[in-house]
Amino acid sequence: MSLLAPAALGLLALSIPLVVLYMLRSRRQRLVVSSVRLWEGEEEYVSAALPWQRLKITAALLLQLLTLAAFALLLARPFYQEATPLGPHTVVVIDTSGSMALAGRLEAAKSEARSLVVDVSEAQLVSLIEAGPRARVLAAFARDPNELRSQIDALVVSGGVEDLDGALRLARGLATPDRATSILLLTDGGIEGMVAEPIGNARHLLFDDVEDNVAITAFGAGAPGEGVARLFLEVTSFSASSTTAEVETRVDGLQVGTTSIRLEPGQRAQRYVPVDAGPGQVVEAEILANSDGNPLDDEAAAVLGANTYLTIAVMGEGSPFLDALVASLSGFGPAAGTSPDLVIRDGGSAAEVDRPTWLIAPVEPPPGVTITGRLENPVVTYQRSGEPLLDGLDLSELMIAEADIVQARGWLPLVQAGDVPLVLLGEVAGHRVVYFTFDLVRSNLPLQVSFPILGARIIEWLGGGQVSTAATAIAGAPIPLAPPAGSRTQITMPDGGKRELDGNVIEFLDTGQPGIYTVAYVAEDGATTGGFVAARQFAAAEAAGSSRRIATVSDEVGELEETTLLREWAPLILALILGLVLIEWWVAFGRPLPRFRKAEA
C-alpha cells in the first residue's frame, strides 16, 4: 500500500497528547451534599498532590487511538494500483452484430464496458463506437461515466453484420495527436477477413460463448405460380445434437402452414414452401418453440414483389437454366423483340455494355477487365461476407470445370478461388454488371438449390431494386424512401415503435432490427398519401456465431497493458472510522441495548 500524502501521518503525533490526557487526573465536579458519611466506602483513593495518574488502558483509549490512526491514514490517502485497459484516450468499439446475441455475448460486452467506464478519471477520455451494420459514434471524448453508461445500456443486438472496418475507421478518425489513442474491441471477432489485421494500438476482448442454435439462414420467394408463390426456406442447425424444427409460415400475419424439418448436428436443410400470396403481401417464417441461444435468427420475413415488369434478353449461347430462371421471376419476363431492360450475355463479346448486364464467361471482356489466362477446376476459397447477394448461400460445394483468370481493377470480387475471382460486381458505362468468369453449364451451380435465389438476386440487383420477387435485405440495409412533396415519413419498426422523418429524408438507416418495416407517407393534413412494406432479415452469416481472435500489434498492446489506475482506500477507511466512533459512543455513553433489556427484565 502506498500513500499519496504521507505527511498526513504526522497526525499520529496527536496520539501523544491523547495519551497524556488520559494520564492527567481528571478534575472531578464538586458537589455539596448534606453528609458524606454514608458515601464512605465508595471513595476512590487518589493522590491529590500529583496531577498524573498511572495510565490505564481502557477500551475508550484504544478506540480513540484507533480512530486517530484511521483518520491519519485517511488523510494520507493510501492507494493501490490496478491495471486498467483505459489509456489517455480509449476508443471502445462494441460489436452489436447478430452473432453477439448468441449466449448473451453482447450483455457480457456491455458489462465489461460499463466496468471500464466507471474508472474514467479526469485525465482519461473515452469514445464509444457501435459496430453494428452501420458503424456510428455514440460518444466522443467523454469522461462522464454516467453518459457513457447510458449509451452502453441503450445498445441492442442488430440482425445484421457488423461493419468492423467502418468502426475502425471511425476509431482512427477520433485519434488526436496530443493524446495517445488506443482502441478496445469488444467483439466476437466477426468473420475472417473482415478487417485488415493486425490492428495497431488496439486490444481485443473476445466474447466467444456459444450455445446450441437453430436458425433460418435463407428465406426468399421462388418461382411463382398463378397466385401462388414458392418460398425458399433454409434452416441450419448449429447444435451439438439432433433436433426437429417446426417452421410456421404466415402471410400477412395469418398462419398458412407448418413445416417440420429434422436436423442433424451441423446440417442445413432447404425447402420450397408454396403459399397462396401475391405481390405486396408479407410472408414470414418462424421456428416454433425454439429456446436456443439466439432468438433473433428464428424468424424471417419478406415482401412479395410488386407488379412492375422488366424485360430480360438472354443473348449468346444461353441455357435452359437461364430460361427457367427468367421465367420463374415475378415481375420479369423475356424480351420479345423490343429493347430489353436487362441483358444476360452467355459467352460472346462484352466489349459494349449499354444496359445492366449479367456477363457469363464472355469471350471478350468488358472495358476495364483483362483476361490473362484460364484456371482448371478452381475451388471456391472465398465468399464475401455480408454481401446481400450471397446472404445465406453456401457456394463451397460449387464445382467448376474451367474459369477465366481476369484482372479487374475497381471490380468487387464476391467469390474467389485463391486469387482468381469467379464472381465480380462492377459498373460499365454507368450500368450495373455481374461478371461470372466461368460457364454455367460447365459447373454444377445450376443444379444447386441456391441457384434460383442467387439468380433472382442478381437480376433484382441489375434491375435496380425496382422489381423483386421478394423485397428483402439483410438487417442494417437502408430502406430507400420517396416521400411525395409536402409529406413526411412515418415508419413503424418491427418492435412496434414509431419513427417520424422529414420529407427530405430519402433513406432510412436504422434498420438493424430484423422484421417488417411499414413505411407510410403522411401529408400535412394527416392523410396517408402512400407507403410500402419492407423486410429486413437476420444475416445468415451471423447465425453460426463464429468467433475469432483479432490480431493486434503487440508492442502497442504491451504499453497499453501497463496502464494502471490508482484506487484509494478512502471508502473503506471512512467506514472503519464510522464504525469505531459508533462503538466508542456505545461504550462510553450509551450501551442502550443491554440497559434496555435489563429494564425490561
Partner 1 sequence: MLLDAELRGRLERLALIGTRRVRGVWSGRHRSVRLGESLDFADYREYHPGDDFRRIDYNLWARLGVVLVRLFEAEDEMPLRVVIDTSASMGFGEKFETARRLAAMIAYLGLASGERVRLVTVPAPGRPALQGPWARHIGAWRRLESWLEGLEPEGGTDLPAAARMMAAPGAHRGPVVLVSDLLAPGWEQAVDLLGTVGGGVVVHVLSPAELDPDFTGDLTLRDAETKAEVPVSVSDAAVARYRQRMDAFQADAARRARRVRMEYIRVLARPEALEGALRELVAAGVVR
Is the dihedral angle over the CA atoms 545, 111, 161, 207 positive or is it negative? Answer: negative
**Cα 308 from chain centre:** 36
31 near partner 1 (CB under 8 A): yes
Question: Cell for 156?
Answer: 441492442
CB atoms within 10 A of CB 268: 18
Nearest distance from C-beta of residue 33 to partner 1, angstroms: 5
Q: Which stretch binds partner 1 (CB under 8 A): 29-37, 71-79, 267-275, 306-314?
A: 29-37
User: Shortest distance, CB of residue 26 to partner 1, whole angstroms?
Assistant: 6
Q: Which is nearer to partner 1, 44 or 525 (CB)?
A: 44
Cβ atoms of 540 and 217 within 8 Å: the answer is yes
Order across the sheet with 268-275: list the strands: 214-221, 229-237, 268-275
Start-to-end CA span in the chain (Å): 49
Closest by CA position to 105, among listed 184, 204, 214, 206? 206
123 belongs to the binding site for partner 1 (CB under 8 A): no
Buried b (16+ CB within 10 A) or exposed e, 335-360: beeeebbbbbbbbeebeebebbbbbb
Contacts with partner 1 by CB under 8 A: the residue count is 20
Least gap, CB of 589 to partner 1 (angstroms): 11
Does position 23 interact with partner 1 (CB under 8 A)? The reply is no
Which one of 29, 291, 338, 504 is in contact with partner 1 (CB under 8 A)?
29
Stretch binding partner 1 (CB under 8 A), from 22-30, 137-145, 299-307, 453-461 = 22-30
Work out how close the CB of 44 gets to partner 1 at its nearest, in angstroms, rounded to a whole number: 5
Listing from the earlier edge strand, what are the strands of the sheet with 342-346? Answer: 332-334, 310-316, 342-346, 357-360, 431-436, 420-428, 412-417, 382-383
> Is 44 or 555 the residue whose CB approaches partner 1 more closely?
44
Shorter beta-carbon distance to partner 1: residue 38 or 196:
38
Task: Please identify, using beta-carbon distances, which residue of 31 and 289 lies nearer to partner 1.
Answer: 31
Contact 390, 383 (CB under 8 A): yes
Tell me which residue of 460, 459, 505 sits closest to 480, measured CA to CA. Answer: 505
409 lines the binding site for partner 1 (CB under 8 A): no
Q: x/- string (CB under 8 A) for partner 1, residues 32-71?
A: xxxxxxxxxxxxxxx-------------------------
Task: Determine phi and psi for 230, rounding to 5 degrees.
Answer: -105, 120
Stretch that binds partner 1, among 28-36, 58-66, 497-505, 556-564 (CB under 8 A): 28-36
**In whole angstroms, how close is the CB of 66 to partner 1 at the nearest point?**
24
Minimum distance of partner 1 from residue 21's CB (angstroms): 15
Q: How far is the CB of 599 from partner 1 (least distance, A)?
A: 12
Closest approach of Cβ 11 to partner 1, in Å?
29
Which residues bind to partner 1, rule: CB under 8 A?
A: 26, 28-46
